[in-house]
Amino acid sequence: MARIAFCQDVMVEYMGFMTLSAVLKQAGHTVEVFFDPQTNADRFVEEVRAFRPDVVGFSILTPSVPWATAMALRMKQLPGVVTVFGNVHAMLNPEETIAWPGVDMVCTGEGEFTLLELAAALDAGQPYDEIVGLWVKTADGVRRNPNREQLVDMDAMPMPDRQMYNKYLFFRKSPYLRVMAGRGCPFRCSFCSNTTMMDHYGGVKTYVRKKQPQAAVSEIRAMIDAHPGRVKHIFFIDEVFWVKNEWLRTFLPLYKAQIGLPFTANFRFGGITEDDIRLLAEAGASGLSLSTESGDEEQRRGLLNKPATNAQILRIAGWMHKYGINFGSSAFFGLPGDTVDDHMQRLAFFRAVNPKYLWTTFFQPYPKLFLTQHPDIAPHMPQNEAFNVTLHHDMYLNLPDRERLVRLKKVYYLMMRFPWLEKPLRRLIDFRIPLLFDVLFLMHFTYYIFLAEKISFFQYLVHLKTFAINPVLRRKLPLQQSGAPYTPPPAQRIPVVQQADADH
C-alpha cells in the first residue's frame, strides 16, 4: 500500500489533512503528518525520509508558499517521492504552482478521492497522469486533467483522523477541539478567497454544504470520547457556523443535550432573530466572531462587499450582550482612502458594539481575490516587489500616511477598550517608536489568544517560540540547515500536452 506524508509549517490541526488521512487509511494506506518548526531543515527532511513516503503532500495558503516551495525541492531528493500541492493557493493559481521546481502535481479541487486514486495507482504501479482533479508534470509537459464534477458528501465521510496529530504534545494535551460541521460560505465578500472558491466549484448550491445536525453532533461526541478528560471547549472552524436558520435551530438543542461544552464559532449575518441568539447562549456559545470588518458602513458594503449595516450589527451585538455571549469584532487597516482621522471617527461605532476583543489586521492582497483586482487597489501596489505577507506587523499597500496608520493599528484595540487612552495614544502615533508599539500590540494580542483561541499556557509558549523566537534565530543564523528564509526561483515555462478526457 502507498505511504503518504503530509507536511506543514503551522502548528494547527489541518482539517483537510485529517479528512484525507481518514479516507486513505480506510483503504489501507499509511499516512503520517510532519510539522516543521523551521529551525533545522535537515533534521525535518530526515524525519520525513525515515517514514519512507511515496507521496509528500503540501496544503498551501499564500503565506506558506515560500516554505512549501523550498521544502518540496528537498523532498524531491528522497527516493521515489512524488509531491502534491493543494488547498486554496494551488487551486486558484494552478499555472503558477505547477511551474515551481519540486512540484509534481497540483490537486485542483477537493482531494479526498483524487488522492485515493493516486495512492491506488502508485500501489499498483499504474500511470497516474490522467487522474481527474490533478495537473501532472510528465516528460512531455503538463497534463491538465479536468476538475472533479462531484464534491464531497460531508455526511458520507469517515470521522477525521485526529489521532495522527496526537504524536505532538501540543495537540495531545490540547484543552480545545477544532471541528468542522461544513464547508464553504454563501457570501461574496471581496477580501475573502471563499468568493473565488465558490466560483471555482460552480456556485453556492454545490460549494456550500453542512453535515446533518445529528451526524455533526455524533462526530463531535465520538472525538470527545476518544480524548477522555481532555476536551473543555469546542472550536468550530467553519467559515460560517450555519448557512440556514433551520439547520441552526435543529443543531443547537442536539448539541446542548449531547455535548454541552462551551463553543466558539464564526457568526453568520442574515435573518437572525433574538430567539436564535438566546438558543446560541443556552447551547454554550461562549465566543462568537462578529466580523464587522470596518466601522464605516459605506466601506463595508461597498469596497468590502459585506452585506451588513451598522444598525443590524448594533442590534445583534445588543442581543449578545443581553444573553451573555462574548464576541469579537474586526477592523481592516490598509484600505484605499483610509486616514488616521477616519479610523478615529470609527471608534465610536466599535465602542457602541462593545466587543470583548477588536481584531485589527492589514489587508493582504492575495492573488485572485476580488478586492486585490479592484481598480482602487492597483495604484497602491508596490512596484517591482514580490508580495510578502504582512498580517499584523506592517502594511503592504503604499498608502498616504502609512507609518502612522501602522502604529495606530497596533494600539487601536486599546483605544477602543479604554477611552481614557485615546488622546495619549493618538499623540503617540506621531512618533517613531517601533518597539513600543510592537510591545503594546503583543500585550493585547496575547490576551486575545487566551480569550478566543482557548489555548493552554504550554501551547502559548510553543506559539511564542514558533512565531517570535524561531524567526529571530533564522535571521541570526542564515544557513540552509537553520531554516533560512527562501525566495522561490522564477517560474519555469512548461509545454502543454493534451488534456485527458473527462471520462478517464
SS3 string of 163-226? HHHHHCHHHHCCCEEEECCEECCCCCCCCCHHHHHHHHCCCHHHHCEECCHHHHHHHHHHHHHC
Which segments within 92-161 are labelled E, that is strand?
105-107, 134-138, 141-144
Please check whether residue 147 is in contact with residue 175, taking contact to mean a CB–CB distance below 8 angstroms: no
Q: Residue-wise over 74-83: b if at least 16 C-beta within 10 A, else e?
A: bbeebeebbb
Would you state the pLDDT for residue 219?
96
Q: Is 471 within a domain?
A: no
Q: Does residue 89 register a pLDDT over 60?
A: yes
Would you state the pLDDT for residue 501?
42
Phi, psi for residue 236 in degrees, rounded to 5: -75, 125
Task: List the CATH number of the domain containing 140.
Answer: 3.40.50.280
Mean pLDDT score, 425-432:
96
0.75 cut: is pTM over it?
yes
Given pLDDT bands bounded at 50, 70 and 90, which one contains residue 110? Answer: very high
pLDDT tens, 387-409? 777 777 888 889 999 999 999 99
**H or E stretch at 89:** helix 88-92
Q: Domain range spanning residue 298? A: 154-455
Do 210 and 67 share a structural domain?
Answer: no
Do 159 and 139 share a structural domain?
Answer: no
- Considering the chain, what percentage of its residues have pLDDT values greater than 90? 76
The alpha carbons of the chain give a radius of gyration, in whole angstroms, of: 23
Mean pLDDT score, 29-46:
94
Do 169 and 138 share a structural domain?
Answer: no
Q: Is 494 within a domain?
A: no
Q: Residue-wise over 156-167: b if at least 16 C-beta within 10 A, else e?
A: ebeebbbbbbee
Please check whether residue 235 is in contact with residue 259, taking contact to mean a CB–CB distance below 8 angstroms: no
Would you state the pLDDT for residue 471?
64
Q: Which of 112, 144, 176 is the last residue of a domain?
A: 144
Distance separating alpha carbons of residues 294 and 333, to the nearest angstrom: 9
First-last CA distance in the chain: 22
Do 60 and 17 share a structural domain?
Answer: yes
Q: Is 475 within a domain?
A: no
Do 119 and 179 share a structural domain?
Answer: no
Do 129 and 167 share a structural domain?
Answer: no
Q: Is 484 within a domain?
A: no
Do 408 and 299 share a structural domain?
Answer: yes
- Considering the chain, what percentage of its residues have pLDDT values greater than 70? 92
Q: Which of 430, 455, 480 is the last residue of a domain?
A: 455
Q: Which of 109, 144, 179 is the last residue of a domain?
A: 144
Would you state the pLDDT for residue 491?
43
Do 67 and 42 share a structural domain?
Answer: yes
Do 349 and 442 share a structural domain?
Answer: yes
Distance separating alpha carbons of residues 274 and 279, to the nearest angstrom: 9
Mean pLDDT of the chain: 90
Q: Is 176 within a domain?
A: yes
Do 85 and 197 share a structural domain?
Answer: no
Q: Is 504 within a domain?
A: no
Do 219 and 120 share a structural domain?
Answer: no
Q: Does residue 503 register a pLDDT over 50?
A: no
Distance separating alpha carbons of residues 365 and 350, to the nearest angstrom: 25
Q: Is 500 within a domain?
A: no
Identify the residue with better confidence: 127 or 387: 127
DSSP H helical segments within 336-433, as ranges? 340-353, 402-417, 422-428
Closest CA to 369 of 132, 193, 176, 129: 193
When divided into structural domains, the chain yields a total of 2
Q: Does residue 179 register a pLDDT over 50?
A: yes
Do 24 and 104 share a structural domain?
Answer: yes
Q: Is 256 within a domain?
A: yes
Identify the residue with better confidence: 137 or 445: 137
